[in-house]
Amino acid sequence: MQKVILLIATFLCALLIPPVAFAQDGSLSEIGSYTDDARAARVTKLRETYRITLSDKERELVVSRCKGAQGALSKILERLKTTRFEREKTYTSVISALANLKLRFENAHTDASNLDLLIVTYQQKSTGFRLSAGEYETTLEDVIRVDCVFDPVGFRAALEGVRSARKDIVGISSDITETTKSTLPTTFDSLKLRLSTDGETSGE
C-alpha cells in the first residue's frame, strides 16, 4: 500500500508547474463561437466599468500599436487553449487516482477519510480553473476581435478585461499549486503514519 501512495504522490507532483504559464500559454478555431452582439455588449460593459478616456495623443498611440498587440494576444490565446486542455485532463486524472486510492484503503479496512477532503478540494479548484480559463479565453477573443483602429477606447477597455481575467486564472492555478505542495504531502504523511500504526497494531 505504501508503494501505491508513493506512486500517486509522484504522479501528483506533475501539477507543480509555475502558474504564470497560464498567462502565456489551444487554436483560434473557436473564436467565432461568440456572436458579435454578445461581444459588443461585453466591451460596452467594460467601458462602463473602467471609464477609460484617451487624449488625442493617447488615442493615436493606441491606434498605431494595437494591431501588433492583438497579434501577440492571439499567440497567447493559442497557447492557453492547449494548456487548458492538458491541465483539465491532468486534474481529472488526479481526482480519479485519489478516488481509486481511497477505495483501496476502504477495501483494506483502513480509514482514509482525509482523502475525501482532498478529493473535494481538487474538484472545486478544478472547476474554478475551468471557469477562469474559459473567462480568460473569452476576454482574449474580445480584445483580439475589437476594431481597435475604429474603437481604441473599446480596445483599451477590453484589455483591462484581459488583465482582470488573467489575475483570476493565475490566482486559481497558484491555489492548486499550493494545495499540491502543502495539503497533499500532509495528507499522504498522515496516511503513511496510519498504515504504519495499523501494521504495528496487527502485529505486522
pLDDT band (50, 70, 90) for residue 10: low
pLDDT at 125 over 50: yes
Please state, in angstroms and rounded to a whole number, the distance separating the CA atoms of residues 181 and 15.
9
Least confident span in 17-21, 121-125, 186-190: 17-21
5 pLDDT higher than 80: no
Whole-prediction pTM? 0.79
Task: Output the CA angle 135-39-171, nearest 5 degrees.
Answer: 15
Q: What is the pLDDT of residue 51?
A: 94
